[in-house]
A and B are shown apart, each in its own frame.
Chain A
């Protein structure tokens, strides 16, 4: 467990860098995690289109979306997703969108 502080708010990350309480997420948290976890200095519109869709999907379904839905909704080609998020859709994009770690081999 690691404690971080963003704009005065204290947040907790689990041992894999995922937000312990997904409800504490906001855009500043995403930007912080982007830098700390993915080495991304800035988040572009392409990043945000992926992050925002994942976040909305999670709030509605309590689950991470399929990478197919991410591509279909954002219009980004599959290969681009892995370029945008070096750790991939799960440990990269979903983490930045404040989701808990998905089950399975990830």
Chain B
């Protein structure tokens, strides 16, 4: 289950971190490719202009090259001959408490791991990987900010990141099923649980189950219209994976593995990932690396499935039900990292009457500011709201009344930006917009 780039377990506590153990982890996670990256940064500064934190604040510590430098200087000190012999001359730096404090502040507190800098790096460094290597090193020393760590721990211990009990989940699904049956005058099971040998196992964000179930009903309506055979799992349905952000590969693999096991147990054909950017990146692209194995089933995003339904004529939409101007926010992990770029546009062009792009868009889009675990880390909340100014300005320029985004994490950050910057927009998921336009016969 564990891969080559895991954290090396250490002793120590957050107050007395095991710095030597942290260095062992750093040596493990900086493989030869990353080591080459670390030595190639020429500090040209172009990455600064790509970072929403830097653009919004002008803080030099927000520059991606500065973050690379933090990791680079420690790597040099212990892993290069010149750094070991002449640290002062080579910019090499001791790994001490002052250094770890700076790492936490910068690698966790000034980065949403959106990868826009990676895309724009002139020499092709994978800056996000370097930041994550730093986070993995901090995770090994138990130095992940406690709010983020709690979210990971809750996911590992309870099976979902909000600590929803199995009974609460089953009760909620039953309640939504009844509401939908009434609405559609149907006595079929419309939110099925633990059905086996169906096409789709659907994984969602626990915040939908706990606080925002309208999007679950929207998806169920779409599946009903398309005649899909699908199910939820009673045990594991959480598409999120905060281990991706804390840097803890072991926890990340455990959580991702549970979804895969749930699918195998129910003998479904497709693991369908709900509207969650990092859940897509983790389960679609990172999991095969964590397991060093390609899964034997299909893993796809609900956005791509809905686009297929439209192309195949399985659902019909009436765009005149959505006449307000709609713009689209591209979640970094689904779009820039995940490669799901055109499906959401194909859908919106058929589900609403007035769809406009914000600029820049697609893989060049700016992060909303909520990624990388930022939403969970209250101590850095003011920074993410300030950095979100870039996104708020992008939205305002479109004149849109609705911002569509296929990611619940983005929905939450965009809702806060809406309030802070008085944008006067509604934030909706793709499924919600499609559901509103659905022609049910």
Contacts and interface: CB of A to CB of B under 8 A. Distances in A.
Contacts of B162: 102-104
Interface in B251-276: 276
B399 to A, nearest CB: 22
- The listed residue with most B CB atoms (<10 A of its CB), out of A71, A90, A91, A103, is A103
A106 interface: yes
Contacts of B179: 78
Interface stretch (A4-12, A25-33, A42-50, A62-70): A62-70
Given A15-B382, A66-B210, A78-B213, A105 B175 contact: no
Contacts of A89: 211-212
B228 interface: no
Interface string A81-102: 0000011111100000000011
Interface in B169-226: 171-172, 175, 179, 205-207, 209-214
Contacts of A14: 378, 381
A84 B145 CA distance: 33
A14 B207 CA distance: 21
B4 interface: no
A16 interface: yes
B331 to A, nearest CB: 12
Contacts of B175: 68, 71-72
Nearest to B240: A105
A61 to B, nearest CB: 10
B57 interface: no
A47 B294 CA distance: 50
Contact of A66 (B154, B164, B276): B164
B375 interface: yes
Interface in B375-431: 375-376, 378-379, 381-382, 408-409, 412, 415-416, 419
B120 interface: no
B229 to A, nearest CB: 26
Nearest to A18: B378
A68 B172 contact: yes
Contacts of A67: 210-213
Q: How large is the interface on A (under 10, 10 to 19, 20 to 34, 35 or more residues)?
A: 20 to 34
B382 A105 contact: no
B138 to A, nearest CB: 20
- The listed residue with most A CB atoms (<10 A of its CB), out of B179, B212, B408, is B212
Nearest to B411: A105
Contacts of A18: 378
Given A16-B381, A63-B163, A66-B164, A103 B154 contact: yes
A103 B378 CA distance: 11
A83 B417 CA distance: 19
Interface of A: 14-16, 18, 63-64, 66-68, 71-72, 78-79, 86-91, 101-106
Interface of B: 147, 150-151, 154, 161-164, 168, 171-172, 175, 179, 205-207, 209-214, 240, 276, 375-376, 378-379, 381-382, 408-409, 412, 415-416, 419
25 contacts: A15-B379, A63-B163, A64-B210, A66-B164, A66-B168, A66-B172, A67-B210, A67-B212, A78-B179, A78-B214, A87-B415, A87-B419, A89-B211, A103-B161, A103-B162, A103-B163, A104-B206, A104-B207, A104-B240, A105-B161, A105-B205, A105-B207, A105-B376, A105-B408, A105-B412
Given A15-B378, A67-B212, 20 more contacts: A14-B378, A15-B379, A67-B211, A68-B168, A72-B175, A86-B419, A87-B415, A88-B415, A91-B416, A102-B211, A103-B150, A104-B161, A104-B205, A104-B206, A104-B207, A105-B207, A105-B240, A105-B375, A105-B408, A105-B412
